[in-house]
């Protein structure tokens, strides 16, 4: 008997209970979420083998979008066809969406109160340290040689000094990576993803030698149908928004902007945050720099993908300029948050459902990683710029002409030491920083 026949099939109801639970406990960013899925599905439940799990993860790491959510979608699809993937991916996101809508409303309605103002006073410096940690973490994984360091430095100069748009930096880095992969391939080999063990945990339902199920075999008609459905799922709501509010309407522009952002999230949520900042704060004026920092803090303290900070951006932007009337501000914010979540995650589902059969058809190495390695190197420089932007707005509340905020600087330093030296978790650092801010302000 082959190893995969020793495990009992998993019912869709069992799977849904797990994916719903995961949606409420998936703290810790993508690395923590991937490690949690590995422990639950590979080590304990034995739904999938180590090798098959890592193969799926490698594919998700190559895609734009939140890799942990895409991995959940992929595993749900592998276990229970397309609907299994859709439900797994949706349940990974929906708890975070509803929690963030509630927190965003509390922030707008009561954020000026001394208690909440004190908590956010402490959280903002911690967010600066968290963004810096993200740059160091990604840089340590990717910047393996002088070529990649040079790309990171060039990206920093491009966005900090030249104010070039983020998509242009991504395209330039991808082109450099393509050329570098052909001229010096050893310099542009992937830096590697999350480190997981290679231990054997016994037979799994989907084992190393388990053939792909019938629904996971590539077929051109299925791919064409998926692309058609995906196009309709994007075009119909976009057309409806344009008909109701016009192309320049707030909701329409949010849908269009975050559709573009969804295709630029190489390297995780921190990579797309500078693009979101450029658009939401500088171009559209949906929220202020301070509100952007507060939104990132809320995103860090809730389960689910960090890219869900886009729901906060949309809620605040629509709440403050309500298109349904002044007495329907909450409805406008909630609708905007839901719409932006739809347009942000739709490409992720299509990438997995369309690309999964191609991945399952071969378990060899994936190619074309050199451009993505260069893009990730450029992302490091962009994130360093984001950390400096946050530091400026936190430590000099009234610009360089104003006074330096020493309490904020000490909280930021303490958060950085806790994160980098003592490896304290992000949520714990945010809670301790919030308490410190409350003590300072009250």
Binned at pLDDT 50, 70 and 90, residue 199 comes out as low
In DSSP notation, 179-194 reads: HHHHH-GGGGS-----
Residue 333 in domain: yes
281 secondary structure, DSSP code: I
Cβ(297)–Cβ(291) below 8 Å? no
Is the pLDDT at 96 greater than 50, yes or no?
Answer: yes
- Confidence band, pLDDT 50/70/90 cuts, at residue 253: very high
pLDDT number for residue 194: 45
**pLDDT, greater one: 97 or 427:** 97
Strand partners, 15: none
Q: Are 351 and 65 in contact (CB under 8 A)?
A: yes
Is residue 24 packed enough to be buried (19+ CB in 10 Å), middle (13-18) or exposed (0-12)? middle
Residue 76 in domain: no
Q: Which of 73, 121, 98 is nearest to 315 (CA)?
A: 98
Residue 166 confidence (pLDDT): 75
Q: Give me the mean pLDDT over the 261-271 stretch.
A: 73
Q: Is the pLDDT of residue 262 over 80?
A: yes
Say if CB 100 and CB 311 are below 8 A apart: yes
Q: What is the mean pLDDT of the chain?
A: 86
Q: Tens digits of per-residue pLDDT, 52-77?
A: 887 788 678 777 888 889 999 999 99
Q: Is the pLDDT of residue 94 over 70?
A: yes
> Are the beta carbons of 97 and 339 closer than 8 angstroms?
no
Looking at mean pLDDT, say which of 100-114, 157-171, 289-303, 336-350 comes out highest.
336-350
What was the pLDDT predicted at 27?
65
Instruction: Name the domain count of the chain.
Output: 1
Share of the chain above pLDDT 70, in %: 91
Whether residue 362 is predicted with pLDDT greater than 60 in this model: the reply is: no
Interatomic CA distance for residues 163 and 161, integer angstroms? 6
**DSSP-derived 3-state class of residue 293:** helix
Which residues on adjacent β-strands are paired with residue 206? 48
In angstroms, the CA 222 to CA 60 distance is 21
pLDDT in tens, 379-425: 788 888 878 888 888 888 777 878 899 999 999 999 999 999 998 88
Given a cut of 50, is residue 252 above it in pLDDT? yes
Average pLDDT over every residue of 304-332: 91
Is 413 a member of any domain?
yes
**Is 354 among the domain residues?**
yes
Identify the residue whose tokens are 């037979």.
203
The percent of residues in the chain predicted with pLDDT above 90, rounded, is: 43
The pTM for the full model equals: 0.78
Does some domain include residue 293?
yes
Size (the chain), residues:
442
- Please report which helix (H) or strand (E) contains residue 173, including its range: helix 166-183
Q: How many CB atoms lie within 10 A of CB 257?
A: 22
DSSP for 320-386, written as a single string: HS-TT-GGGHHHHHHHHHHHHHHHHHHHHHHHHHHHHHHHHT--S-----HHHHHHHHHHHHHHHHH
The contacts of residue 170 (CB under 8 Å, 6+ apart) are 264, 266, 375, 378
Does 346 map to a domain?
A: yes
Which domain, by its residues, includes 102? Answer: 97-192+217-441
Sort residue 283 into left (φ over 0), alpha (ψ -120 to 50) or beta: alpha
User: pLDDT tens digits for 75-88?
Assistant: 999 999 999 999 99
CB-count exposure of residue 104 (10 Å: 0-12, 13-18, 19+)? buried
Asked if residue 147 is part of any domain, the answer here is yes
pLDDT for the residue numbered 190: 59
Structure tokens at 18: 């797990």
Mean pLDDT is lowest, of 16-30, 133-147, 179-193, for 179-193
Residue 194 · residue 35 · CB < 8 Å? yes
Nearest-5° Cα angle at 135, 283 to 94: 65
HEC letters along 73-134: HHHHHHHHHHHHHHHHHHHHHHHHHHHHHHHHHHHHHHCCCHHHHHHHHHHHHHHHHHHHHH
| Statement: residue 203 has pLDDT above 90 | no
Neighbours of 13 (CB within 10 A): 7
- Find tokens 């402490």 and name the residue: 122
pLDDT of residue 286: 95
Backbone torsions φ then ψ of 207, nearest 5 degrees: -95, 180
Of 197 and 93, more confident? 93
Q: What is the mean pLDDT of residues 338-356?
A: 95
What pLDDT sits at residue 50?
Answer: 81
Position 3 pLDDT exceeds 50: no
Alpha-carbon Rg for the chain, nearest whole angstrom, is 22
Higher local confidence (pLDDT), 188 or 333: 333
Between residues 265 and 404, the one the model is more confident about: 404
Q: How confident is the model at residue 204 (pLDDT cuts 50, 70, 90)?
A: confident
More confident residue, 99 or 194: 99
Q: How far apart are CA 334 and CA 108, in angstroms?
A: 13
Does residue 80 lie in a domain region? no
The DSSP symbol for 278 reads I
User: Residue 7 above 70 pLDDT?
Assistant: no
- State mean pLDDT over 422-435: 87
Residue 406 CB partners (closer than 8 Å, separation 6+): none
pLDDT at 259 over 90: yes
What is the structure's pLDDT at 406? Answer: 95
Q: How far apart are CA 284 and CA 275, in angstroms?
A: 12
When pLDDT is averaged across residues 156-185 and rounded to a whole number, the result is: 87
Q: What is the reported pLDDT for 6?
A: 41
Range of weakest confidence among 164-173, 218-227, 265-274: 265-274
């Amino acid at each position: 008997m082959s190893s995969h026949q020793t495990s009992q099939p998993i019912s869709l109801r069992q799977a849904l209970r797990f994916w719903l639970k995961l949606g409420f406990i998936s703290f810790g960013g993508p690395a923590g979420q991937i490690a949690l899925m590995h422990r639950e599905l590979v080590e304990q439940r034995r739904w999938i083998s180590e090798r098959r799990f890592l193969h799926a993860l490698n594919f998700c790491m190559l895609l734009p979008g939140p890799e942990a959510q895409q991995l959940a979608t992929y595993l749900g699809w592998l276990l229970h066809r397309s609907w299994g993937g859709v439900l797994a991916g949706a349940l990974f996101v929906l708890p975070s969406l509803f929690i963030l809508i509630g927190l965003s409303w509390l922030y707008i309605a009561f954020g000026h109160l001394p208690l909440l103002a004190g908590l956010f006073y402490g959280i903002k410096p911690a967010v600066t340290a968290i963004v810096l940690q993200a740059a160091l973490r990604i840089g340590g994984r990717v910047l393996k040689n002088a070529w990649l360091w040079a790309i990171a430095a060039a990206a920093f100069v491009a966005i900090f000094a030249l104010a070039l748009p983020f998509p242009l930096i991504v395209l330039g880095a991808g082109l450099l990576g393509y050329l570098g992969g052909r001229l010096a391939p050893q310099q542009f080999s992937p830096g590697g993803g999350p480190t997981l063990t290679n231990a054997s945990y016994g037979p799994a339902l989907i084992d190393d030698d388990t053939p792909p199920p019938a629904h996971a075999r590539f077929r051109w008609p299925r791919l064409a149908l998926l692309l058609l459905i995906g196009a309709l799922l994007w075009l119909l709501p976009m057309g409806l928004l344009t008909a109701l509010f016009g192309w320049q309407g707030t909701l329409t522009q949010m849908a269009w902007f975050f559709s573009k952002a969804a295709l630029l999230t190489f390297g995780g949520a921190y990579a797309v945050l500078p693009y979101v900042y450029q658009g939401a704060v500088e171009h559209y004026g949906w929220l202020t720099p301070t509100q952007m920092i507060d939104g990132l803090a809320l995103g860090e303290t809730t389960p689910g993908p960090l890219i869900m900070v886009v729901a906060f951006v949309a809620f605040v932007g629509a709440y403050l300029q309500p298109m349904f009337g002044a007495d329907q501000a909450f409805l406008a914010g909630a609708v905007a948050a839901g719409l932006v979540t739809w347009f942000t995650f739709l490409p992720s589902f299509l990438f997995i459902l369309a690309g999964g059969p191609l991945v399952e058809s071969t378990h060899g190495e994936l190619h074309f990683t050199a451009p993505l390695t260069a893009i990730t190197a450029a992302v490091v420089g962009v994130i360093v710029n984001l950390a400096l932007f946050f530091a400026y707005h936190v430590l000099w509340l009234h610009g360089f002409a104003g006074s330096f905020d020493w309490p904020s600087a000490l909280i930021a330093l303490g958060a950085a030491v806790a994160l980098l030296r003592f490896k304290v978790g992000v949520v714990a650092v945010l809670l301790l920083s919030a308490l410190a801010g409350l003590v300072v302000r009250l």
